[in-house]
Amino acid sequence: AEPAFVCIVLFCAMTTVTFQPQRLRLAASQLEVERQRTVPELPSALSGAWQGSESPPVLADPAVAETIKGLFPATYGVPTVSLGSGAAINPAKGLKVGVVLSGGQAPGGHNVVAGIYDAVKRSGPGAVTYGFCDGPHGLFSGNVTKIDDIMMNGYRNTGGFDMIGSGRHKIESPEQFVASREVCEKLELDGLVIIGGDDSNTNGALLAEEFKKVGCATKVIGCPKTIDGDLKCPPEIPVSFGFDTACRTYAELVGNVALDALTTQKYYHFCRLMGRSASNIALEVALLTNPNMCLLGEEVSENALSLKKVTEQVVNMILKRSKAGKNYGTVLLPEGLIEFIPEFNDLMKDLNELGDGMKEDEVLRKLSKENQERWHFLPEFIRAQLLLDRDPHGNVQVAKIETEKLLAGCVEKELERLRFAGEYQGSFTPQYHAFGYEGRAGLPSRFDATYCYCLGYTAAVLIAGGKTGLLASVKNLTKPVSEWQCGGVPVTALCVVERRKGKDKPVIKKAVVNLSGTMCQPFHAWAAIRDRVAIEDYYRAPGPLQFDASCPVSLDLPITLCLELGGEAPGLGPPKTQPKVFGSFLYCPRKLNSRSKLQQWRAELVAKKIQETEQAGVKVACVGLPTRPSLRYDEDVMKSVLPTTFGAPLVEVKMGSLPESTGAPPRIGVVFCGRQAPGGHDALIGVVDAIKERSGEVLGFVGGTGGLLKGFAEPISDIVDQYRATGGFDLLGRLQDRIETEEERAGVLASCSKLNLDGLVMVGGTRTASDTVHLAEYFAAKKSKTSVVFIPCGIEGSLINPFVEMSLGFDTASKVIAQLVANTSTDGASARKYYYFLRLMDGGTQGKESTSHVTMEVALSTRPNMALFGEYVAAKSIGLREIVSKVADVICARAEDGKNFGTVILPEGFLSSVPECRLLLEEIAKLPMPCTVAEAFEHLSEFSGALLSSFPSQIQQQLLLSRMDNGEVHASQVAAEQLLAYLVEIELKGRKANPESSPGRKNKSYKGSFSPVCQFLGYQVRCGMPSDFDCEYGRVLGSIAAVLAASGHNGYLASVSGLAGPSDTWRCAGVPLSAICSTTDTGVRVVPAPLKLQSPVWFAWSKLQARCAVEDLYQNPGPIQLSGPSATRKAETLIAANSQYGEAANYVKTLEELGKKLEMLRRACRPGCDASFAKVANRTLSGIEELVAMVSEGPLA
């Protein structure tokens, strides 16, 4: 066996065979380890003695049979093979088989290799499996690696193709066919397995033909792969592998986005999904999530719809929803939608003929009248893109057109026309999402993992039987795995003929969405419900992929596959009840039985766990010592501004039976203030459960702080249980997060007084915390009986302080983001040609208060090549040019090792941490709005103007978009990842052109390739189905808040310590909000907590970052698990931060133990104690006197 890291070269007649070092997996998450140890089940046809029988093939198109026969004279007519019965298959010796991963990545590819490897190993002594590196190119160039147990076991049940890499090369020239044969002969291969899509397997059939024609002993078998779902030939090939996992990954994100739309009721989310030639993914995701509209390219083509007609369809839906008071929604579309529009292709053809470099008026003069009309219909930004973006051949780059933005732009333009005509009075605010790369390399679903393993095993058995020119087939999928039927179908029987470049070419016919005839059941299922879902909100959140066998949906088949195999379509249920109208908000609670199967199972599971493990109720147990702010503060200012809550005592809350109440049953109000975060509904459940113990009532304010100001409240005690363990804030909704003025506080007081509330629970982040403490003081000054209490909730994690170890929702959101980052990193390591720049929704958007807690958690969970942190940049005053240079240095170092791929992550507000960019943002914030780019240059300083001019035009425009309600630039609107990638590309080009231009640079020259892909991860995660941690944490926080509010603790926050431990060891408390406030230039408020650069969390990343930069230490934490061992996994930052407390386990327990020690010392040093002992104790305490004085210092320096 060749050593893993030794390069061995074999020479044959014309082709060199080079054994490459194994690409061993260097790291793995807890879930990956669990999955690696899982062995998929085999059908009885494969697990027993190998047998096979033959039958005549069924042709895809009998009309072209003679043409196909002429193209494949040697392999045409080979029979279909069924395994499990018939003649025995007994290879004379151990098999030698080579594997090629071809084309784009699809989840499950590694399991195909695992199935091949295990079957080959079973074939006998001397068996060996080879992997050709980086696709077909590795085959004809002879780049190969030997797969052994260590290598294989590291990739079982994992996503991506990074084990041996993939590529999109084709074996086309006679020289490449000869070279491929020579490599196979030199390695003495019995078989070659091509794992790929329709083109790759057609290429494999040509290889099989060539090999058989010249007498090469190597047999060629294919395995059907493509996430697009366009390689299926029922009944033999019912589905391609990877389709299920990709669709479920996208469906999780679309479901989250739909809940986000329902929560704020102000956005239309346009979601572009993979699928250039077919809309199978879009249809599958639509059936899983019930969006308001799903456009199918096949339907557009069938009805010859123009772009204008497609736009009218969307506009009509929006008009109907607007009349129903709904100015929000979700629209799905395949990435290849515009390529299904004939007239758009005609326009592109004319533009290509005109060439580039022309101005718009010149273009218009030369276009036909029809194309002039089509041109004018396009949004202005699309027209500008078509004029500027050309490929090296001068053609318009249609593939770079962001279809979702094109469609939304056309819709917006038409709605404005209707508004001007008085036919539309609604609002239209689009958000754009492109879901693609993150779905190609995720951990395969249980179905894909099993299906792929069986495909690979089948391919190896077919080779053992001496078969060639077949595509591995596994069918009967609705039955138990043991009854699945395995075999092989001739590729030639699946081919049709297309005319390409003047020649007849065999191709496997693409499987598109069938609108009629056989296999049209999925489309008809969608057509049957789309009119209802267009107007009513039947959104389903399918939730994350599950792997634990105890979860009943973990082995579900794709919906479209089930329908094609005779299954029933999932129904919508009864019509929705009429919503209540509260201003611009609609209140329409949803029943649990209207949700996804996973959601229903999960809600019951969580409720059962609570019943089995918890004592009912919580109570105030004891009152501690007065508190002080954890940050430095001006004591006089604090006492003046917060006279009621400053220095109030810490209140411990313990689980147990509630004491008998002598007063009236409490009435508590709850409002969602901050931006949505997973676990919010569970916090409501905690409030309701605690108040029910006292026979009280809970009212929810509809529409967030806006509803609070207007008194829009509804009883939620009887409905909230239907929202257990669900994402989003859609039960009550939310919008603006602000209660700052005297008038606003008076409005809240009026609402609470009118509703006779004993307590008000406010849920949100740092801004809500600041508003809550001042509102509590206002209520106290007005002698209100309403106690105001705060629940720390926000995905950004910037509320971290001694009393808030983690904010509610951070755990779930960071884990969902980590899954997407890891999937994308694996995709990059598989294709080995992309650099992914990923901007993450994180804390803060302005100045020094931008935080990077989510980025740190994701970095520790996934180990990208580079993570940028705003706090570090701000602390070190690192300029933009230096940042760009550092990123380029990493890219250059990786290029020297032959790695032209990688992943860079950065927080949402990163630009505001860069000194010169912060200055630019401050100046832009002072500009009168609206403001054009040209007008901005007139008002900016010379320095800021020069900086802005160095940015690409789209970034310039983003900086001048609508502001936040505080007047600042909205960070989420500025694509910092695109700016960074743009500047890095310029830097790398400079290094190529002038390698010696920068003396002292670590990497003076650059010879690699750089293809950046940019994405923002935010809206698709903040309404995710909450983790077990967030479910329990939210419920406990809600219970604490309810008891504090009902017992008159005004101005308190709910606090839980010891979160890194089991929930039965958590310490619950009420903490005065003043204890987390500080005095600032803008008043007393809760300041977002920055990532500490001298902390266990920072040190944890510091130990990894150098290796991550140059090695591939990627690990995939995978989708959140709701049962099984991984369901209890805690956040990496929580574990690292908690390590500082040692055995004490948490902050509250540390203070408690410290108090005991001080009391013990006080008792030991009472008058009459030994003099020597008193002297030693005094000397010891003197050593920390200076530290105590410094920490106790109140006034700001």
Residues assigned a catalytic role: 228
> Both tokens of residue 264?
């704020």
Distance of alpha carbon 247 from alpha carbon 289, whole angstroms? 11
> Both tokens of residue 9?
């070269």
The dihedrals phi and psi of 944, each to the nearest 5 degrees, come to -65, -35
Q: State the burial class of residue 934 (Cβ atoms within 10 Å of its Cβ: 0-12, 13-18, 19+).
A: exposed
Instruction: Report DSSP letters for 677-735, one per residue.
Output: -TTHHHHHHHHHHHHHTTT-EEEEETTHHHHHHHT-EEE-TTTGGGGTT--SSTTT---
The dihedrals phi and psi of 730, each to the nearest 5 degrees, come to -70, -15
Instruction: Report DSSP letters for 968-1001, one per residue.
Output: ---GGGS-HHHHHHHHHHHHHHHHHH-TTSSTT-
Secondary structure (3-state) at 114: helix
- Whether the bond into 235 is cis, omega within 30 of 0: yes
- Amino acid symbol at 903: T
Residues 6+ apart with CB under 8 A from 1119: 249, 252, 442, 443, 544, 545, 546, 816, 819
| Nearest C-alpha neighbor of 509 from the set 486, 493, 521 | 493
> Do 471 and 453 contact (CB within 8 A), yes or no?
no
> Do 809 and 794 contact (CB within 8 A), yes or no?
yes
> Do 276 and 340 contact (CB within 8 A), yes or no?
no
Distance of alpha carbon 845 from alpha carbon 808, whole angstroms? 20
Helices 307-323 and 521-535: crossing angle, nearest 10°?
Answer: 50
Torsion of Cα atoms, 242 then 449 then 838 then 540, to 10°:
70
948, containing H or E segment: helix 942-949
Secondary structure (3-state) at 498: strand
Distance of alpha carbon 585 from alpha carbon 736, whole angstroms? 13
| Nearest C-alpha neighbor of 678 from the set 343, 259, 316 | 259
Measured at the alpha carbon of residue 485, what is the angle toward residues 555 and 462, in degrees to the nearest 5? Answer: 115
Tell me how far the alpha carbon of residue 808 is from its chain's centroid: 19
> Both tokens of residue 554?
């973990």
- Amino acid symbol at 1104: L
CB atoms within 10 A of CB 138: 27
Distance of alpha carbon 168 from alpha carbon 104, whole angstroms? 7
> Do 59 and 491 contact (CB within 8 A), yes or no?
no
| Nearest C-alpha neighbor of 914 from the set 956, 954, 876, 967 | 876
Cα torsion 1098, 1104, 1110, 1114: sign: negative
Distance of alpha carbon 17 from alpha carbon 905, whole angstroms? 38
Distance of alpha carbon 136 from alpha carbon 145, whole angstroms? 14
Measured at the alpha carbon of residue 113, what is the angle toward residues 110 and 117, in degrees to the nearest 5? Answer: 135
> Do 432 and 406 contact (CB within 8 A), yes or no?
no
The DSSP bridge pattern shows strands 585-587 and 618-626 to be: unpaired
| Unique residue bearing structure tokens 């087939």 | 473
The dihedrals phi and psi of 759, each to the nearest 5 degrees, come to -150, 155
The dihedrals phi and psi of 1084, each to the nearest 5 degrees, come to -80, 125
